[in-house]
Amino acid sequence: MEKSQRYKVGEKYIGEGEPCFIIAEAGLNHNGDSEIAKKLILNAKECGADAIKFQKRNIEDILVKKALDAPYDSPNAFAPTYGEHRNKLELSKEIWLDLKKFADENKIIFFASPWDIKSADFLEDLGVPLYKIASADLTNLPLLEHLAKKGKPLILSTGMSTLEEVDEAVNLILKFNQQLILMHCVSDYPCEDDKVNLRMISTLIERYKLPVGYSGHESGIAIPVAARALGAVAIEKHFTLSRAMKGSDHAGSLEPEGLRRLVKYIRKNVEPALGDGIKKFTEMERKMRIKLAKSLASTCPIPQGTLISADMLTIKGPGDGLKPSMANQVIGKIAKNQILADQIIKEDDIHWA
């Protein structure tokens, strides 16, 4: 992946060499209530997230009538049929406009996952700066092409799909739009740790030469923190005000304190620890090396002008003399100075000519 592969979103960038782009996935955790949605926006900002993401659907456009009319008796149901339940969780145009304005005023990036073409156009009119394509729509090539042609950065989740399907989706999007970020994702709810397969982040980077992030459905924050250390340029986690709230996604979401800790561990711990990949001594290491490392030392007195032999040398600390690896270079040389017994041998003690 090239360092230049970074994409501007609002006043921020997503890509290699940039701070991790942290997305609070509010999804439908507003429960159809605009005040809950505003609290999610405000809390995401206060926790340090870069963006908050919701979901937008035209229910009648994405489900057949049989699915719309199916009885829905889940404990998380907001209506007796699945279609009515889904519609209860959709927000009006006026609420969307108000939420976008509220997010802008609070200086947090606001965007959404459109699940159909009408929703994509609605979000475009709303003025979102990027789009997220859910794993469920990775094979929905008409939607992918429609979104790609809008010319804004696209985040594509790769859950519940084969690599061949990802190939097809990536190749299609790149025909129209080069601003693509892939997200490794496993669409289990919740996802057990042994199913997460974080090494897929490296696989996706190598295969597509694109920025890659991680969208997680596991419990806790350890896995996304590890994903950042493995090269994820963006992290997305479901976010709620309370895991005890009614609704299908709340139980697997982070509450504000969890999101706050996630941001802290990535910003304050992992990112500074990543460094630049260039091997160098820290100042403390220099001091510790002198204290703990070994040097060439003398086994006996070595008068000035003496030809140094192997039996005159041993290896002892501290590490402020000639390195042990230099023994063969010292053997056969002449002592420039008098060297006492059991003394560290320094560079200036030897005639190197």
Q: Which CATH architecture best describes the domain 11-274?
A: Alpha-Beta Barrel (3.20)
User: Matching CATH topology for 11-274 and 286-351?
Assistant: no
Q: Tell me the mean pLDDT in the region 332-352.
A: 96
**pLDDT of the residue at 2:** 47
**pLDDT of the residue at 135:** 96
Closest C-alpha to 204, from 226, 178, 225, 233: 233
Rounded to two decimals, the pTM is: 0.89
Written as one string, the DSSP assignment of 215-233 is EE-SSSSHHHHHHHHTT-S
Q: Where are the alpha helices (DSSP H) in the chain?
A: 34-47, 59-62, 65-69, 82-88, 93-105, 117-126, 141-148, 163-176, 200-208, 222-229, 256-264, 271-274, 283-292, 327-330
**pLDDT of the residue at 276:** 87
Q: Tell me the mean pLDDT in the region 7-31.
A: 95
Closest C-alpha to 21, from 51, 60, 42, 47: 51
**pLDDT of the residue at 1:** 47
pLDDT at 133 over 50: yes
**pLDDT of the residue at 3:** 42
**pLDDT of the residue at 9:** 96
Mean pLDDT of the chain: 95
**pLDDT of the residue at 5:** 86
Per-domain residue ranges for the chain? 11-274, 286-351
**pLDDT of the residue at 223:** 95
Q: CB of 141 within 8 A of CB of 169?
A: yes
Adjacent-strand bridge partners of 8: 13
What fold, for 286-351?
Answer: Type Iii Antifreeze Protein Isoform Hplc 12 (3.90.1210)
Each residue's pLDDT tens digit, 196-250 = 899 999 999 999 999 999 998 898 999 999 999 999 999 999 999 998 888 888 8
pLDDT at 119 over 70: yes
Rounded Cα–Cα distance for residues 240 and 340 (Å): 72
**pLDDT of the residue at 350:** 97
Res. 259 pLDDT band, cuts 50 70 90: very high
